Amino acid sequence: MNMIRTAMLLAFMTALFMGVGYLVGGTGGMMIALVIAAGMNLFSYWNADKMVLRMHHAREVDERSAPELYRMVRGLAANAGLPMPRVYIIDNPQPNAFATGRNPQNAAVAATTGLLERLTPEEVAGVMAHELAHIQNRDTLTMTITATLAGAISMLGNFALFFGGGRNNNNPLGIVGVLVAMIVAPLAAMLVQMAISRTREYAADRRGAEICGQPLWLASALAKIARSARQVVNPDAERNPATAHMFIVNPLSGQNMDNLFSTHPNTENRIAALQAMARQVGAADARPRPTQGPWDGGSTAGPWGGAGGRGGPWS
């Protein structure tokens, strides 16, 4: 049902883009918008991951430059049955992370320095597992295409201010069409974008908990990230708000209500779902502690080799 709903929302997003083209330039404008939408979807398929990583100034790391984080992601990817994704670090004090890529064979995960500094190693593992779940569920392509179309609809709405509403153009609704293109269409695009993101987050939380084997690691991480995201500004996300739904927690501002205007489900609801999952599998200890994990071959040490989980993949 989630896949069907996502496909319907993407179809609506494309139709909305065409509708804005119609309001700006009539039938001709609608056909031009259709061609642009098709071209943007094709471009996004091949290049959106690179664009998003560049927007957030992510730098790729490997086993030499970030050995612990890289080995952690490799172990989690193996546990999920996924190819090894590219690994990036973003120099940003806000703890957050996202995944991108058109398919599991061409995927990337990115974590901020704030995430690596503020969270325990186990919590970082929970976050990385969540992002790998997005890759496995093929959410990353959908979310990057959605971000591209949402930004394009807003841009087209701005064009209506300068090119719509006049008597000598093809706009069938005059000034009313201009107002719809400027205000209603970008708002509708934002709502669709949010709906797609919210649809996928719960599924990624559950699958991420299965990948790392400890639902409470991710639950603890979400609580810390949500608190810090309200306090630490993410300038790159503020400049590119259309990418906000890609992060594990909204990087723009804290959301206190699980309502239509949230880019993500309410964090407390997500944590409650993970805690319920932990109870189902018998993991009743609410504190994330280093136990046997998919990266250590049965060792009781953490994924970076130190008992007690001190240090981390960034040190």
* Residues near 124 by beta carbon (within 8 Å), at least 6 away in sequence: 69, 72, 111, 115, 116, 221, 312, 313
pLDDT at 265: 85
Using one digit for the tens of pLDDT, what is the confidence trace for 116-166? 999 999 999 999 999 999 999 988 877 766 666 666 676 666 666 565 544
pLDDT at 230: 83
Angle at 136 (CA atoms; ends 130, 142), nearest 5 degrees: 95
Which residue, 256, 242, 233, is CA-closest to 192? 242
Average pLDDT of the chain, as a whole number? 77
Q: Rounded to two decimals, what is the model's pTM? A: 0.74
The answer to whether residue 122 is catalytic is no
Q: Is 137 helix (H, G, I), strand (E, B) or coil?
A: coil
- Neighbouring-strand partners of residue 106: none
Q: Supply 110's token pair.
A: 């990115």
Distance CA 198, CA 221 (A): 18
Query: Could you say which of 131, 210, 238, 268 is catalytic?
Result: 131
pLDDT at 286: 45
Angle at 272 (CA atoms; ends 268, 278), nearest 5 degrees: 145
pLDDT at 282: 75
CA 284 to chain CA centroid, Å, is: 29
DSSP letters for 76-112 = HHHHHT-PPPEEEEE--SS--EEEEESSGGGEEEEEE
pLDDT at 164: 53
pLDDT at 86: 97
- Answer for the pair 131, 97: CB distance below 8 angstroms, yes or no: yes
- Answer for the pair 224, 119: CB distance below 8 angstroms, yes or no: yes
pLDDT at 159: 64
Residues of the chain with pLDDT under 70: 1-7, 9-10, 23-26, 29-30, 41, 44, 144-152, 154-199, 253-263, 283-315
pLDDT at 49: 85
pLDDT at 294: 42
pLDDT at 312: 41
Residue stretches of the annotated binding site for Zn(2+): 130, 134, 201
